[in-house]
Structure 1
Amino acid sequence: MKLTIIGYWGGYPKKNEASSGYLLEHDGFQLLIDCGSGVLSKLQNIIQPQELDAVILSHYHPDHTADIGVLQHARLIQGFLGNELPTLPIYGHSFNEHEFSKLTYKTITKGHAYDPEGTLTAGPFKLSFLKTNHPVPCYAMRIEAGGKTLVYTGDSSFKEEFIDFSRNADVLLCECNFYGNQNGRSAGHMNSVEAGQLAQKAEVKQLILTHLPHYGSLGELITEASVQYSGIIKLAEEFQSISL
Structure 2
Amino acid sequence: MILTVVGCSGTVPGPDAACSCYLLEHAGVRILLDLGTGALGPLQRFADPCAVDAVVLSHPHRDHCADLVPLVYLRDRRGVSGPLPVLAPAGSAERVVGEGRPYTDALKWLDAGPEPFRIGPFTVRTTPVPHSVPAVAVRVSAGDATLTYSGDSGVCAELDDLARGSDVLLCEAAAAVDTPGASRNHLTPAQAAATATRAGAGQLILTHLRPWADPAAALAEARVHSARPVSLAVPGLRVAV
Whether the TM-score (by the shorter chain) exceeds 0.5 is yes
**Which letter maps to 2:103?**
Y
- Would the aligned equivalents of 1:180 and 1:224 in 2 still touch at CA under 8 Å? no
Q: Name the CA distance, whole Å, in 1 between partners of 2:5 and 2:213.
A: 21
Q: Name the CA distance, whole Å, in 1 between partners of 2:214 and 2:183.
A: 21
Match in the other structure for 1:89: 85
Q: Name the CA distance, whole Å, in 2 between partners of 1:181 and 1:110.
A: 37
Match in the other structure for 2:236: 239
- Would the aligned equivalents of 2:122 and 2:141 in 1 still touch at CA under 8 Å? yes
Unmatched segments (≥5 aa) in structure 2: none
**Which letter maps to 1:73?**
Y
Q: Name the CA distance, whole Å, in 2 between partners of 1:95 and 1:74.
A: 24
CA distance 1:99–1:226, shift in 2 (3 Å): same
Deviation for aligned residue 1:139: 0.4
1:61 maps to 2:64: no
SS at match of 1:44: helix
Match in the other structure for 1:150: 147
TM-score, scaled to structure 2: 0.92
Identity across matched positions, percent: 34
The correspondence of residues 1-12 of structure 1 with structure 2, limited to 5 A, is 1-12=1-12
**Which letter maps to 1:225?**
A
Cα deviation code 1:161-220 (max 9, x no counterpart): 32222111000000100228888323x000011001011111111100011122242111
Deviation for aligned residue 1:221: 1.0
CA distance 1:104–1:150, shift in 2 (3 Å): farther
192-201 or 158-167: bigger deviation: 158-167
SS at match of 1:33: strand
Match in the other structure for 2:223: 226
Match in the other structure for 1:217: 214
CA distance 1:96–1:29, shift in 2 (3 Å): closer
Q: Name the CA distance, whole Å, in 1 between partners of 2:225 and 2:182.
A: 18
Structure number with higher helix proportion: 2
Deviation for aligned residue 1:100: 6.1
Match in the other structure for 2:38: 38
The partner residue of 1:98 within 75, 94, 98 is 94
- Would the aligned equivalents of 2:148 and 2:166 in 1 still touch at CA under 8 Å? yes
The correspondence of residues 113-124 of structure 1 with structure 2, limited to 5 A, is 113-124=110-121
47-56 or 132-141: bigger deviation: 47-56
Deviation for aligned residue 1:101: 6.2
RMSD: 2.0
Cα deviation code 1:22-50 (max 9, x no counterpart): 00001100001111011110000011211
Q: Name the CA distance, whole Å, in 2 between partners of 1:63 and 1:180.
A: 17
TM-score, scaled to structure 1: 0.91
**Which letter maps to 1:88?**
L
Report the count of equivalent residues: 238
The partner residue of 2:156 within 155, 159, 168 is 159
Q: Name the CA distance, whole Å, in 1 between partners of 2:35 and 2:88.
A: 12
SS at match of 1:230: coil
Deviation for aligned residue 1:106: 4.8
Cα deviation code 1:97-128 (max 9, x no counterpart): 52366677154x22322342221112211111
- Would the aligned equivalents of 1:4 and 1:22 in 2 still touch at CA under 8 Å? yes
Cα deviation code 1:127-172 (max 9, x no counterpart): 1111111000000011111011100000011112322221110000
CA distance 1:92–1:168, shift in 2 (3 Å): same
CA distance 1:94–1:101, shift in 2 (3 Å): farther
